[in-house]
């Protein structure tokens, strides 16, 4: 089964090269966290709060197929890329089935259909209907071992509705994920999702909504609000709840986010300023975290991100708990190159 799907993936990518112009892009990056206690950790360069290290990926884009080959958890101390929670190599493709049918048979379909195949484990769109200002990537994941080769499909009607489903036909996997996204008018987006994993005994539900006030009211400054819930349908009381308001004017932007998770109430705020970008676009940022408001832990951070040609550099100085500055202080570095 694995060999069959892998061969199918290769055939699909080769077909894209034959039938349409193909573009190739990629990224290579590393992130590191140096703690004040002397320890050093690998961190994903896109999300410094993650738990895995460097990443290398190549993307293929054509009229009919999009593909990606990615290696995760790359570290300088583990050149074999064989350890870690995430499997080292992921390859998958998105087949634009409706586009292929339309061009092949000269017909017009009322909906757009895409098919997904590969060894990645799919998840819902964490930042489509929720602002997620801190890039927490909180969503429902299929939680499928990549060895079962999960597959999926989506059907879209214009920009208004998209329904997606993922799962696996592997015997005994007993898992699936479905998501519906709607955007009735510009400025309003909503999404609902449901995931089941019988082996793990979980039935997860997600709902999110976003209102872009700037678009709806034709404001000359940014303003948006959004909310989200992620919970096991058998225990909604212990679910995770999110609410965010974000805005900005010209070079200044900020957000405030409330999260109730693990039965704790947390409040986060951030502010950023984009410097004039004549040569190297640079953004300065600052953040404040009040974790567990019942017995509050105060954290804060300052950082800077700059871009030199196709190289992005980021540095962040912070502390998770001022009461334990020595053991919770850190400096994070990240850099990546696009090509």
pLDDT value at residue 80 = 41
Average pLDDT of the residues in 326-331: 94
CB atoms near residue 199 (< 10 Å): 10
Average pLDDT of the residues in 100-117: 94
pLDDT value at residue 142 = 82
pLDDT value at residue 15 = 52
Q: What residues contact residue 38 under an 8 Å CB cut-off, 6+ apart? A: none
List 211's β-bridge partners, or say none: 188, 225
pLDDT value at residue 160 = 97
Average pLDDT of the residues in 170-197: 90
Is the pLDDT at 264 greater than 60, yes or no? yes
Pairwise pLDDT comparison (182 vs 29), residue with the higher score: 182
Q: What DSSP state is assigned to residue 39? A: -
- pLDDT per position as a tens digit, 151-177: 999 999 999 999 999 988 776 667 899
pLDDT value at residue 32 = 84
Q: How far is CA 294 from the centre of its chain?
A: 30
Range in 234-238, 265-269, 295-299 with the lowest mean pLDDT: 234-238
Average pLDDT of the residues in 286-305: 96
Query: Could you give the C-alpha distances from 136 to 7, 284, 286, 295, in angstroms and in order?
Result: 35, 20, 17, 23
Is 1 in a helix, a strand, or coil? coil
User: CB of 333 within 8 A of CB of 32?
Assistant: yes
- pLDDT per position as a tens digit, 84-103: 444 467 888 999 999 999 99
Pairwise pLDDT comparison (258 vs 176), residue with the higher score: 258
Is 91 in a helix, a strand, or coil? strand
CA-wise closest residue to 245 among 98, 80, 133: 133
CB atoms near residue 319 (< 10 Å): 19
Pairwise pLDDT comparison (207 vs 136), residue with the higher score: 207
| Percent of the chain's residues with pLDDT above 90 | 56
Is the pLDDT at 52 greater than 70, yes or no? no
Q: How far is CA 51 from the centre of its chain?
A: 14
Is the pLDDT at 293 greater than 80, yes or no? yes
Radius of gyration for the chain, computed over Cα atoms and rounded to the nearest angstrom: 22
- pLDDT per position as a tens digit, 125-146: 888 999 999 888 788 888 777 6
How far apart are alpha carbons 175 and 168 in whole angstroms? 7
């Amino acid at each position: 089964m694995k060999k069959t799907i892998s061969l199918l993936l290769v055939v699909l990518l080769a077909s894209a090269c034959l039938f349409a112009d193909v573009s190739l892009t990629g990224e290579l990056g590393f992130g590191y966290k140096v703690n004040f206690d002397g320890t050093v950790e690998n961190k994903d360069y896109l999300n410094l709060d993650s738990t895995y290290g460097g990443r290398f990926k190549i993307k293929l884009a054509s009229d009919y197929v999009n593909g990606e080959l990615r290696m995760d958890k790359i570290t300088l101390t583990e050149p074999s890329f064989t350890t870690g929670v995430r499997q080292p190599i992921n390859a998958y493709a998105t087949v634009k089935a409706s586009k292929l049918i339309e061009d092949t048979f000269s017909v017009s379909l009322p909906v757009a259909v895409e098919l997904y195949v590969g060894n990645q484990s799919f998840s819902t769109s964490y930042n489509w209907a929720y602002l997620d200002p801190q890039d927490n990537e909180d969503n429902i994941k299929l939680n499928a071992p990549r060895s079962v080769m999960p597959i999926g499909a989506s059907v879209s009607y214009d920009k208004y509705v998209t329904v997606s489903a993922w799962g696996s036909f592997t015997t005994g996997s007993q898992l699936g994920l479905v998501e519906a996204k709607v955007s009735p008018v510009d400025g309003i987006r909503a999404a609902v999702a449901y995931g089941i994993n019988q082996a793990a005994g979980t039935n997860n539900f997600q709902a999110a909504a976003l209102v872009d006030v700037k678009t709806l009211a034709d404001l000359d400054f940014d303003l948006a609000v959004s909310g989200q819930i992620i919970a096991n349908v058998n225990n909604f009381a212990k679910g995770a709840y999110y609410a965010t308001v974000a805005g900005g004017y010209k070079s200044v932007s900020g957000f405030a986010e409330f999260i109730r998770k693990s039965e704790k109430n947390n409040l986060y705020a951030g502010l950023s300023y984009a410097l004039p970008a004549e040569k190297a676009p640079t953004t300065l940022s600052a953040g404040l975290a009040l974790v567990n408001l019942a017995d509050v832990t105060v954290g804060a951070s300052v950082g800077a991100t700059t871009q030199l040609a196709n190289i992005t550099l980021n540095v962040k100085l912070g502390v998770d708990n001022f009461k334990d500055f020595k053991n919770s202080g850190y400096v994070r570095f990240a850099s990546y190159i696009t090509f």
